Amino acid sequence: MSFQQWDPTALPIRPGLYINFKEAANAQITGGARGIVAIPLKTYTGQATAKTFYTIEGEGDAILLFGQANIQSIKFALSGGAQQVLVYTMPAEATVTDYVEMREAFEARPFNVFVFDGEHDATEQGNTATWVADNREEKKHFMFVAGGSVADDLDPTVGNARSIGFSDDYVVNLINGVTIGENTYSSAEYAPFIAGLVAGTPINQSITYTTVSVDDVTKRLRNSEIVTALQAGSLVLVHDGEKVKVEQGITSSKKKIRNIRARQAVATDIEKTARDSYIGKLDNNEDGQMALINAIKAYLETLEVSNVLTDIVVSLDPQRESVGDQVFLAIGYREIDSMERIFLTINV
């Protein structure tokens, strides 16, 4: 489970709210990204300078800063649904050290989904997946959308192997390229659209069966190939004869993207609320503990109203005593998932 953020045998030293989500079949968390896609931009010819962050909300600003020919990944992210694109400008002929520096720089910025500017280097994708996992342990939660080359996309077994290699709750791996008019985009080049779709989809919705505005996929998969891809944890685009759609919104670990986004949202939001309003401000007595419990319940109840989760329970952890400066809470709830498989029995 990805939220093992404190160890009962080695409690953290720094003041803070440490959340230990325990996964159970009847109490998984669902919902919630906030709409910011992070992209390290490789090429730019406008007013931008290297190793600098830029927040983009529209195509016009992107053209001015980076040049018309260099903003396809930004356009994809915005058209996918991202509210903002957080761009970091890579230096010319970037080295491995530059990629490390880029990732470290992003750690100090808020965003929800990370994606490359059409890059598909296996080493850097692997390094980024490790970085995602490391940040998860450090209580920074975001997703990473990966993809492959045009050649990779023609052989689904290559993309599936990439998914199996990641097998991470926070990593989404697209294995289809697409065509738009006369242009062909590899899965790595189209990954920013999926990143925008993940970030911009409301907390109580799934991206499963979402229609994407392309003409076709570069390779249409047979039913058996689609099933194999889903079993590998691949995100697949399917042409159903009329339109192209996302077959199922899953991560490379075969978890629902909707579920994982909610875990990220709950972990991030509860801690931020505690840090802003409760840590260092409440007495650790019955009144203070109830104030914290009620605040967390109120947050979760807003998600319940939005049909994200239900059956909320927030209480002091009966297994551990809340004394001194330590408070242990037990939080539980049941997810409300999207209806994705419908089985009909027709009697005639």
Residue 25 tokens read as: 């079949």
Contact at 8 Å (CB) between 187 and 193?
Answer: no
Q: Which residues contact 259 (CB under 8 A, 6 or more apart)?
A: 28, 29, 30, 31, 335, 337
| Mean pLDDT for the stretch of residues 64-81 | 97
Rounded CA-CA distance 143/111 in Å is 9
In percent, the amount of the chain with pLDDT more than 70 equals 89
- For the entire predicted model, the pTM comes to 0.89
Residue 288 tokens read as: 């203070």
Q: Is the pLDDT of residue 124 over 50?
A: yes
Burial 290-319 (b: 16+ CB within 10 A, else e): eebbebbeebbeebbeeebbeebebebeee
Confidence of residue 265 (pLDDT cuts 50, 70, 90): confident
Residue 76 tokens read as: 């994809």
Confidence of residue 340 (pLDDT cuts 50, 70, 90): low
| Mean pLDDT for the stretch of residues 294-300 | 83
| Alpha-carbon dihedral 46, 49, 55, 57, rounded to 10 degrees | 0
Tokens 């920013």 belong to which residue? 192
Residue 68 tokens read as: 């018309």
Helix (H) or strand (E) holding 199: helix 187-200
The beta strands (E) that lie in the chain are given as 36-41, 53-56, 84-89, 113-115, 143-146, 171-173, 178-180, 183-185, 211-212, 216-217, 237-239, 244-246, 309-316, 329-335
What are the beta bridge partners of residue 10? 7
36-255 adopts what CATH topology? Rossmann fold (3.40.50)
Q: Is the pLDDT of residue 31 over 50?
A: no
- In the chain, where are the structural domains located? 1-30+258-348, 36-255
Rg (Cα) of the chain, in Å, rounded?
Answer: 21
